[in-house]
Structure 1
Amino acid sequence: MDVHRAADHGHTDYNMEAKRGKALPCHEDRFDSGIDSLKEELLSTELDALRVSESVWGDWEPWRAEVNEDGDTLLHLAIIHEATDCVLQMIRLSHGHPFLNAQNHQRQTALHLAVITEQPQLVDKLLKAGADPLLADNRGNTPLHIACKQGSLACFGVITQNCQRHRASILSACNYSGHNCLHLASVNGYISLVESLVSLGADINAREPCSGRSALHLAVDLQDSTLVHRLLDLGADVNCLNYGGFTPYHLTYGRHNEEIRSQLYERTAQDLRELPDSEDSDMEDLSEDEVYDDIKFGK
């Protein structure tokens, strides 16, 4: 079963321009929990065992030690299958217990899965009971990274409201692809999340550690004129250089969006408009793939 199901439109940030028929170039693999091999009847039996009267819940709960072949605990499985009553019962009985932060073989915690399956109520309950928002999965993604990748405004709001003490650390953390939360929101065209992240203190000019691209570089590379305009309004540095010495304006060479080109030209410092080493005439003759091969997403 794929737990990365479509989120409720009422809780998801959609930039329609970015979504309309445009294949984004930085898709990581889907957030699967690895439960394809689960026998549904076994899961049903396990969850039914949790629906008994509370009188059988003692100081030693053997259900906490139950782990399947994918490393999923009963809490993981109950969240995936939206067995909300069982989830709430386990959370209430495990307040402050390490069980809440158990990681499966993909290093996903219950909190990761609650975000993936778009269940903000459970995200809130888990955080209040002691779930750690800083734990990363096997791709380096915290639950907030996932909320920003999916465009989940509801889960994003719950996490940031409950984690004010850790907020700066979470906002600045990069996953193993070098993306922080602002980069992920930008790459996926979620403008409302970009605005929220900046308002909460995310560094709008933070650069990827692998290539030095800022959110504005990413927006130009995606040719998302709406996002470019909003980032400029929010104070993005138009003269920021990536590690190759290119400004966002330089990335318009070989592209055909004149709106983006003119917006950046007007704001870019005059001495930064020409390509490094005056290679602009040569680069304009190259294909898009040849010009931008060094900044392809996911490389």
Structure 2
Amino acid sequence: MDVHRVYNSNQMDYDIDHANPKLEKMLPCNEDRLDSGLDSLKEDEYNIIVKEMESMNMAAAGPTRSDSNNEPWKQEVTEDGDTFLHLAIIHEATEQVIQMISLSRNDPFLNIQNNQRQTALHLAVIMDQPQVVDKLLRANADPQLVDDSGNTPLHIACKKGSLSCFSVLTQVFPSHLPSILTTPNYSGHNCLHLASIHGFLSLVENLLKLGADVDAPEQCNGRTALHLAVDLQNPALSSEIRQQLYTLTAQELRVLPESESEESDGDALSEDDEMYDDIQLVGHK
């Protein structure tokens, strides 16, 4: 299954990643890549993996079994750094996923990161599997680990617009929320910025209720969630988000900041006007 294709097909109609050139210029940081690289996995290789997963003798194991951490299936890793758990989530082998999670409670196996530093929890959000997200969290998977773009699973849920995964991530053991909500990814965006950029009003509302800082500037251009909402392509949606954010935004942050380029352009124009002020055309000044 092509994870990148699944991610793109689940975007809402008003996703503005490539529809608004103005916004793209405003956000020069590289776009986060959310696929796992496994779309290149050959069908015969996948079938072999499935057979190996089905043949795993996991039923007899229990949470108190002393050698459960040394099961052979926990040691297998693909060239992309993916474990059987990663693969089972990507290929929606839910039964095997639940079995592996139940046998790995409090086990570092749950937090193994692939070559893109994605954990099983990251992939469960990308694949929009809230049941798996819930099972992983209750088995003590770490929701604060970041992938190679600096995204926690909650960042991905906010960017992808997955309300179901967002709900699970914020309701199951919410003690990590304050830290996650204030943490920017490597593009400089926190969860509220991502929800605002992509126009997910329900997520914006929920993030504000959870205590997200509406005045926090993003690190690419120093703009707040309100500024990002104003630049959305969809005027109606932008208006709704702006109304939600405006009353909560500090007065001095409500005006869009002037860029250095705009200021320098203004200076250049004034100098040009002065330079050519005395030019004569056909004998007239």
Q: TM-score, normalised by structure 2?
A: 0.77
Q: Is the 8 A contact 1:13 1:190 kept in 2?
A: no
1:40 alignment partner in structure 2: 46
- Single out whichever of 165-174 and 37-46 deviates more from structure 2: 37-46
- The one of 169, 172, 175 aligned to 1:165: 175
Residue 53 to residue 221, structure 1, CA distance change in 2 (3 Å): closer
Closer, same or farther in 2 for the Cα pair 1:277/1:240, shift >3 Å? farther
1:4 aligns with 2:16: no
How far apart are the structure 2 equivalents of 1:176 and 1:53? Answer: 39
Tell me which residue corresponds to 1:54. 59
Structure 2: which 5+ runs fail to align?
271-285
Question: How many angstroms apart in 2 are the aligned matches of 1:136 and 1:21?
Answer: 25
Query: 1:79 and 2:69 equivalent?
Result: no
Shift of 1:101: 0.3
From the superposition, tell whether residues 56 and 158 of structure 1 become closer, same or farther in structure 2 (CA, over 3 Å). closer
Segments of structure 1 that go 5 or more residues without pairing to the other structure are 242-246, 252-274, 284-299
Q: 1:248 aligns with which of 253, 256, 266?
A: 256
Alignment of 1:130-209 (within 5 A): 130-209=140-219
Q: Does 1:22 align with 2:19?
A: yes
Change beyond 3 A, Cα 1:18–1:91 = closer
8 A Cα contact 2:101 2:110, kept in partner: yes
- Alpha-carbon distance change, 164 to 62 in structure 1, aligned in 2, over 3 angstroms: same
Q: CA deviation at 1:48?
A: 1.8
Task: Tell me if the contact between 2:53 and 2:84 (Cα under 8 Å) persists in the aligned partners.
Answer: yes
How many Å separate the matches in 2 of 1:278 and 1:73?
53
Normalising by structure 1, we get a TM-score of: 0.74
What's the RMSD between the two structures over aligned residues?
Answer: 3.2
1:61, CA displacement in angstroms?
0.9
Query: Equivalent pairs: percent with the same residue?
Result: 53
* Maintained 8 Å contact 1:64/1:74: yes
Question: Quick one: which amino acid aligns to residue 116 of structure 1?
Answer: I
Question: Looking at CA atoms only, which structure, 1 or 2, has the larger radius of gyration?
Answer: 2
Aligned residues: 251
State the Cα distance separating 1:91 from its structure 2 match.
0.5
Pair 1:131–1:179, CA change in 2 (3 A): same
